[in-house]
Chain A
C-alpha cells in the first residue's frame, strides 16, 4: 500500500491516510480482501507516530473500509465498494442541497437549475473552461 504524506497540508495526516485509502479503493488499486500493513509498520514506513496511523485505521474500521482480524492483521473489507458508493451518494446529496440553498438565495427557479444541470451534462462550459 503506497501512501504519500504531504507535510504542510491543511489536512491532518490521519485524514490524508483515510482519504488515500478510500481513493485507492475507489480506483481498484486496493481490492476487497487484500491486506494492509500493520499500524506500527505503516508508522515506520511513513516515519510518523503510531497514534496517527491508529486514528486513521480506527476511522477506516468505523466507516467499514477496513476489517481487523485479531492475530491475522487488517484487511480491506469485502463490502468496501458499497461503503464507498454510500459515501459518495451522501456527498452528492450534500452538494445538491447546497445548490438548492444557493439558488434560493439568488432567487433562481428550480427549473433554471435543472436547465443548468442539463447544459453542463451535455458538455457545456465548465469553470475550468477546458
Chain B
C-alpha cells in the first residue's frame, strides 16, 4: 500500500513548470524530496494538497484522491507559521482542538515541554527555530498517519535538527505512518530517508532507494584520457574543473572490478546534485 502516489502531475506557472512528475511514498517509510531552492518542491507539495490547482495528473493518498476525511489523516507543515502573531502556545491548543477531530492535547503539551517552548509568550516573538518546532509539533498533535514537511530543518541549528530527526524516527515506529520531507539540506536526509527523490527545474531527475544511491553510485576523478574509456551508459553526469573530470557513475561496484586502476570514491547526495545541476548530462 502506498501512502502517496503521484502520476504525471503537471502545472504551467509563470517562472517554470512542474513537468509530469511521478513518484510514490511507500507506507512506513521516509521519503526525501530534494532539490535546490526554486526546483519546485514547495509547488509540488501545494499541488498535491490542492492548494494550487493542477493542470493535469493524478495524486492519491492511501489509494484515494484527496478528500475531507483524508485531510484529517495528513499533516502538512510548511516553512512558515500561519497564526496571528499575538497568540501563544496555550491559545493555539484551544483553537486547534476545535478544528481537528483527532487533536491530542496531551501529546501537544508533552512535545511543547520536551522542546522547551514557552507557553505564554506571543509566537510573534518566537525565533525562527522555535516557530519551526511549534509547526512540527502542531503537525504531530492532530495524530496524522502521513506527515508532509516542507524544509522542516532549514531554520534549525544542528542540535535542534538532530532532535527533529529523532522525532521523525519516533513517528514512523508505527508501520502505518509515513513521511514525505522536502529539503535542500541533504545531510539530514542521507541519515534517515529510505528513498530519495531528486528534483530539478520542475522535473524529477532520479528516485531511488537511499542505500542503492549511496552504494551503487560513485564518483570517479580522472583525466580526459581516462574519461574517454568510461562506458557512456554508466555516466549519470560529469563536470570538468581544472582539467580534472569528476564523473558520477551509476555502477560503482561493477566499475571498480572492471577498472581497478581508476579512483572511485563514495558519493554524497550533495555531490550528485551539484554535478548534475552544474555539469554535463
B240 at the interface (CB under 8 A from A): no
Residues of A within 8 A of B214 (CB): 12
Pick the residue among A10, A44, A47, A51 that contacts B211 (CB under 8 A): A51
Bound Cα distance from A43 to B210, whole angstroms: 14
Counted as pairs of residues, one from A and one from B, with CB atoms less than 8 Å apart, the total is 44
B125 at the interface (CB under 8 A from A): no
Contact of A52 with B175 in the complex, beta carbons under 8 Å: no
Contact of B211 with A52 in the complex, beta carbons under 8 Å: yes
Residues of A within 8 A of B211 (CB): 12-14, 49, 51-52, 55
Name the interface size band of chain B: 20 to 34
A41 at the interface (CB under 8 A from B): yes
Contact of B194 with A51 in the complex, beta carbons under 8 Å: yes
Contact of A47 with B166 in the complex, beta carbons under 8 Å: yes
Pick the residue among B28, B162, B165, B166 that contacts A50 (CB under 8 A): B28
Within 8 A of B (CB), among A14-61: 14, 40-41, 43-44, 47-52, 55
* A contact patch SS: helix
Bound Cα distance from A12 to B26, whole angstroms: 23
Within 8 A of A (CB), among B18-59: 28-30
Residues of B within 8 A of A43 (CB): 169
Q: Which of A12, A40, A55 has the most CB of B within 10 A?
A: A40
Contact of B173 with A41 in the complex, beta carbons under 8 Å: yes
- Interface digits, A77-115 against B, CB 8 Å rule (1 contact, 0 not)? 000000000000000000000000000000000000000
B215 at the interface (CB under 8 A from A): yes
A49-B194 contact given A10-B266, A12-B214, A12-B215, CB 8 Å threshold:
yes
Contact of B172 with A47 in the complex, beta carbons under 8 Å: no
Within 8 A of A (CB), among B146-193: 162, 165-166, 169-170, 172-173, 175, 191-193
Name the interface size band of chain A: 10 to 19
Bound Cα distance from A124 to B165, whole angstroms: 53
Residues of A within 8 A of B8 (CB): none
A47-B266 contact given A12-B211, A12-B214, A52-B211, CB 8 Å threshold:
no
Residues of A within 8 A of B210 (CB): 49, 51-52
Contact of B215 with A48 in the complex, beta carbons under 8 Å: no
Pick the residue among B162, B192, B215, B266 that contacts A49 (CB under 8 A): B192
Bound Cα distance from A50 to B165, whole angstroms: 13
Residues of A within 8 A of B166 (CB): 44, 47
B6 CB → nearest A CB, Å: 20
Residues of B within 8 A of A10 (CB): 266
Pick the residue among A12, A41, A47 that contacts B191 (CB under 8 A): A47
Closest to B173 in A: A40
Contact of A49 with B173 in the complex, beta carbons under 8 Å: no
What are 29 A-B contacts defined by CB distance under 8 Å?
Answer: A10-B266, A12-B214, A12-B215, A13-B211, A14-B211, A40-B172, A43-B169, A44-B166, A44-B173, A47-B165, A47-B191, A47-B192, A48-B192, A49-B30, A49-B191, A49-B192, A49-B193, A49-B210, A50-B28, A50-B29, A50-B30, A50-B194, A51-B194, A51-B195, A51-B209, A51-B210, A51-B211, A52-B210, A52-B211
Chain B interface residues (CB < 8 Å from chain A) = 28-30, 162, 165-166, 169-170, 172-173, 175, 191-195, 209-211, 214-215, 266
* Given A10-B266, A47-B191, 8 new contacts (CB under 8 A): A40-B172, A47-B165, A49-B211, A50-B29, A50-B30, A50-B172, A51-B209, A55-B211
